[in-house]
């Protein structure tokens, strides 16, 4: 199986599939494919795994793409402007990702959920209480909003990140939150109450934009509904 990430931004990943090869993708992620590619919706891992995917913000069913008789290709893209990150999984390596970031993966990748260990992290960390867990063997692709920054943290090394900007991290990384600073910083700093803290060792992946904040920024400039505009 060959794969290529196309584009500098608004990226898509193109997978070239040979006989007997297949790729699993989130519903609606496909953007184009060759005429001989077949599609089959399936509840990978059974009903329990399907329910876990729904809890993690994904669809109940995944779509399997595979070629018919001769090799073919299929391409996938995210639903917001951003980039695609490749996660290579092997035995003993587990990667934790934020909800809604999963795009597609090879059949050897196992998808599950991971629960945030601390209540305060779930409430104020920007990713909720449920995260997506990926393990097994193979390659998975995640989609982020904006640009990507990948960091390799050493043992005990800490990075503080604005909530909502963490795409994912290895399971060896500790995920938590902390106050942004003193009272003055909280009231006038414009960064909110908390920041996400990630403590090494392990790889972390960050994104430069938060879709929720982008939406909140755009809302004041949207045209008002006719009835509301008349009342004003």
| pLDDT tens profile 62-90 | 899 999 889 999 999 988 888 999 999 99
Structure confidence by residue, pLDDT tens digits, 192-219: 577 889 999 999 999 998 877 777 778 8
Rg (CA), the chain: 20
Exposed/middle/buried for residue 201 (C-beta within 10 Å: 0-12, 13-18, 19+): middle
pLDDT at 230 over 80: no
Q: For residue 197, give the nearest of 131, 144, 127, 147 by alpha carbon.
A: 127
CA torsion, ordered 149, 154, 155, 156, to nearest 10 deg = -60
Structure confidence by residue, pLDDT tens digits, 27-65: 889 999 999 999 998 776 556 666 666 665 566 678 999
Q: For residue 31, give the nearest of 65, 68, 71, 56 by alpha carbon.
A: 65
Question: What is residue 4's predicted lDDT score, i.e. its pLDDT?
Answer: 93
pLDDT: which is higher, 56 or 97 = 97
Scan for tokens 């876990």, then name that residue.
52
Question: What is residue 114's predicted lDDT score, i.e. its pLDDT?
Answer: 81
173 occurs within a structural domain:
yes
Torsion sign over Cα 53, 55, 61, 62: negative
Q: Which domain holds residue 119?
A: 2-218
Do the beta carbons of residue 25 and residue 58 sit within 8 Å?
A: no
Structure confidence by residue, pLDDT tens digits, 141-195: 999 998 999 999 999 999 999 888 999 999 999 988 887 655 554 544 555 577 8
- Helix (H/G/I), strand (E/B), else coil: 46: helix
Tokens matching residue 141: 């692709």
Residues counted in the chain: 232
227 occurs within a structural domain:
no
H helical segments located in the chain: 46-55, 119-124, 183-188, 211-218, 226-231
185 occurs within a structural domain:
yes
93 occurs within a structural domain:
yes
CATH number for 33:
3.60.160.10
Question: What's phi and psi for 207, nearest 5 deg?
Answer: -115, 155
224 occurs within a structural domain:
no
Instruction: Provide the mean pLDDT of the chain.
Output: 82
159 occurs within a structural domain:
yes
**What is the domain count for the chain?**
1
């Amino acid at each position: 199986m060959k794969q290529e990430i196309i584009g500098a931004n608004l990226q898509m990943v193109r997978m070239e599939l040979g006989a007997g090869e297949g790729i699993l993708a989130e519903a609606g992620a496909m953007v184009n494919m060759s005429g001989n590619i077949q599609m089959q919706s399936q509840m990978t891992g059974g009903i329990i795994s399907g329910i876990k995917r729904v809890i993690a913000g994904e669809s109940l069913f995944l779509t399997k793409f595979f070629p018919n008789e001769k090799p073919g290709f299929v391409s996938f893209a995210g639903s917001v402007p951003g980039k695609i990150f490749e996660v290579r999984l092997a035995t003993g390596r587990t990667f934790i990702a934020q909800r809604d970031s999963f795009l597609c993966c090879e059949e050897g990748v196992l998808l599950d959920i991971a629960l945030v260990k601390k209540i305060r992290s779930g409430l104020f960390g920007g990713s909720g209480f449920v995260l997506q867990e990926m393990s097994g063997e193979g390659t998975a692709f995640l989609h982020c909003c904006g640009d990507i920054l990948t960091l390799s943290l050493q043992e005990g090394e800490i990075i503080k990140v604005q909530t909502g900007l963490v795409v994912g991290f290895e399971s060896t990384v500790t995920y938590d939150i902390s106050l942004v600073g003193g009272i003055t910083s909280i009231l006038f700093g414009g960064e909110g109450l908390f920041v996400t803290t990630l403590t090494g060792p392990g790889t972390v992946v960050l994104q430069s934009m938060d879709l929720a904040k982008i939406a909140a920024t755009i809302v004041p400039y949207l045209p008002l509904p006719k009835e509301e505009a008349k009342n004003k």
